[in-house]
Structure 1
Amino acid sequence: MHHVTANGIDFAYVEHGDGPLALLLHGMAETPRVFRHLMPVLAEAGYRAVAPAMRGYAPTQVPPEGSMKLADLIADANALHDELGGDENAVIIGTDWGAYTTWGAATAAPERWAKVVAAGIPPLRFMRPLDPEMIHKLGHFFFFQMGVADQIVRQDDFAYFDWQWRYWSGTKPGADLASDLEAGKNALREPENLRMALEAYRQNFPIATFGTDRWEAGPLLAELPAQPTLYLHGTEDPSVDAKTLADIVAALPPGSDGVMLDGVGHFPFIESPEEVNELVRAFLAP
């Protein structure tokens, strides 16, 4: 692990390769480890692949003011671009919460990011409506609002995360997520780290304003990137279907693409690494 201070936070990160910056942003109960398959591919393609532990996730610093708001996550990504020596050829890649951050960072500072890759979280305007099935599937958004979640999630060595990862993973043969899940648990073992991970939901999807015109995160996710964008989504993740994927690609700028990954759930970088690596490599090729 290396360390860099950006946006007032001490970030721990791993890196591989030399060249233009490729910033890799992980999601909930994940660590930079989820990009271990992709980072050598990016290095071979001529990038300096950097995967930080997001704010609040050990060994990165817990934010002193306790903010896990999307505006700060976006500011983190764009500050990391500057502190890590990024230029106009840098690319940004994110999954889950890292994808929320990627969408926001790419639109907030398009001059910093030449290309964009997001997985698992579509642009806001294409999010599936919260019908009963999706309300059930996204139950953790509502459960994490409860103060008691801090206690329940950590019971029996984070058995809740064991269930959640099974619930959100796909049917791809040979996918083994156990080591990544264990790393994610370790990053959140201290109470303040787990609280920050839950605060990302509490602060960005608050019960009183989520979905209203007072929802703070909404405007940060309203725009689409102006850069060529690759969007990846698993067929076993019901928040996007093939028709919606086609609509997403049609709305993105020229040079963009989207791929449905057969049998993959919400963890494409570790459920189907060879397929994802090839798709990202081909997309980033000059």
Structure 2
Amino acid sequence: METRHIALGDLDVAYLTTGPEDGTVALLLHGYPDTPWSWRHLAPVLAGRGYRVVAPFLRGYAPTGLAPDGCYQPGALVADAVALRRALGDHRPALLVGHDWGALAAYGAAVHAPALWDRVVTMAVPPLATVARLRDPLLVGKQLRASWYMGFQQLPWLSEWALPRLVPRLWADWSPGYDAREDVARVLAALPDEARRAAALGYYRSWAQPWRRLPRYRREERAVYGLPTHPLLYLFGADDGCVRPEASRLAAGLCETVEVPGAGHFLAVERPDAVAAAVTAFLDRESLDA
């Protein structure tokens, strides 16, 4: 994949791209702690189907710039996804794919600007409407234990300092048995200093600390909690150590779901063939339905 840059106002966005220049856009959004290089297996599959794949480094992740407004709330990610899609210039509805924080941005972008997209694929974080279905106290307790890192990352300075040690631990805990050395190295290269690490942690701090959110993203923020009206495929790993698979199963009925056996949180790199098969089957089925 080739690296390019595009200006979204004052934000310089770096992105990986492959596929025909005149192809329909497929926008692929990564999560935490991750980079767009996790799309290295799915991107050529989509490019082979004629898509122009665009996989940006999210705001704060080098070589994309730090947020000019200092904001890393989900609504800002939605605004970036919508702005990037429009800046790419193709007016055909695009394919939207998101993992983890990228999944939240994908839900929000699809709800906020529905005309820009025709189909949505998300991974590892289900639609937030599933939270209303979390009624089992045992499952709530398990999920809270798995989410311990969110509380730790509210701590200033200490969590920035610990991030180079935390990232490999999270990959090991969330995707047990997967050799993540290549991916971890790319994450650490994208977060090389305190300012970049604070940006990545700012995603979680804005979630828990509402005073970090800006009114300008109010509409995009609300959209994150909505459910896209587009055909929506949600994939999750049966061994995910971050979002409990029992919680992901609650998305059944809200959208099409596929549980990938032998995969954890970073399923696109753990089981690339299974992920590609599920995505291409979804695209083929929806094309026939259309």
TM over 0.5: yes
Supply the AA of the counterpart residue of 1:68. Answer: Y
| Offset of residue 220 of structure 1 | 3.0
Contact preservation (8 Å) 1:145, 1:202: yes
Aligned residue for 2:226? 223
Aligned residue for 1:37? 41
Taking the aligned partners of 1:244 and 1:27, their CA distance within structure 2 comes to 17
Taking the aligned partners of 2:12 and 2:172, their CA distance within structure 1 comes to 32
Taking the aligned partners of 1:217 and 1:85, their CA distance within structure 2 comes to 21
Secondary structure in 2 matching 1:111: helix
Secondary structure in 2 matching 1:251: coil
Higher percent of residues as helix: 2
| Offset of residue 160 of structure 1 | 1.3
1:103 aligns with 2:102: no
Secondary structure in 1 matching 2:86: helix
Structure 2 gap ranges (5+)? 213-217
| Offset of residue 87 of structure 1 | 2.7
| Offset of residue 66 of structure 1 | 0.9
Contact preservation (8 Å) 1:153, 1:159: yes
Across the aligned residues of Structure 1 and Structure 2, the Cα RMSD in angstroms comes to: 2.4
| Offset of residue 7 of structure 1 | 4.7
Secondary structure in 1 matching 2:15: strand
Aligned residue for 1:276? 275
1:65 aligns with 2:69: yes
Q: Sequence identity, in percent?
A: 35
Contact preservation (8 Å) 1:25, 1:32: yes
Supply the AA of the counterpart residue of 2:33. Answer: A
Aligned residue for 1:160? 166
Q: How does 1:17-36 map to 2 (within 5 A)?
A: 17-18=19-20, 19-36=23-40
When residues 133 and 112 of structure 1 are mapped into structure 2, their CA distance, relative to the original with a 3 A threshold, is same
Instruction: Give the paired residue count.
Output: 271
| Offset of residue 151 of structure 1 | 4.1
Superposed CA deviations along residues 7-61 of structure 1, whole A, max 9, x for unmatched, are 5311001111121000000111211110010111001011001111000000001
Q: Which sits farther off after the overlay, 81-90 or 122-131?
A: 122-131
- Pick one of 92, 98, 106 that aligns with 1:94: 98
What TM-score do the two structures reach when normalised by structure 2?
Answer: 0.86
When residues 138 and 185 of structure 1 are mapped into structure 2, their CA distance, relative to the original with a 3 A threshold, is same
Taking the aligned partners of 1:12 and 1:150, their CA distance within structure 2 comes to 26
1:237 aligns with 2:249: no
When residues 273 and 224 of structure 1 are mapped into structure 2, their CA distance, relative to the original with a 3 A threshold, is same
1:201 aligns with 2:200: no
Secondary structure in 1 matching 2:70: coil
Superposed CA deviations along residues 212-255 of structure 1, whole A, max 9, x for unmatched, are xxx9987333221100011001111263546863x524223xxx
Secondary structure in 2 matching 1:64: coil
| Offset of residue 80 of structure 1 | 0.6
- Pick one of 59, 83, 87 that aligns with 2:87: 83
Taking the aligned partners of 2:210 and 2:58, their CA distance within structure 1 comes to 24
Aligned residue for 1:8? 10
Taking the aligned partners of 1:280 and 1:76, their CA distance within structure 2 comes to 24
1:179 aligns with 2:182: yes
Superposed CA deviations along residues 105-146 of structure 1, whole A, max 9, x for unmatched, are 111111001000000000112134673322111011111111
| Offset of residue 284 of structure 1 | 1.8
Aligned residue for 1:251? 254
Contact preservation (8 Å) 2:28, 2:55: yes
Taking the aligned partners of 1:261 and 1:207, their CA distance within structure 2 comes to 35
Secondary structure in 2 matching 1:224: coil
| Offset of residue 4 of structure 1 | 0.5
Secondary structure in 2 matching 1:101: helix
| Offset of residue 104 of structure 1 | 0.6
Q: Which sits farther off after the overlay, 159-168 or 127-136?
A: 127-136
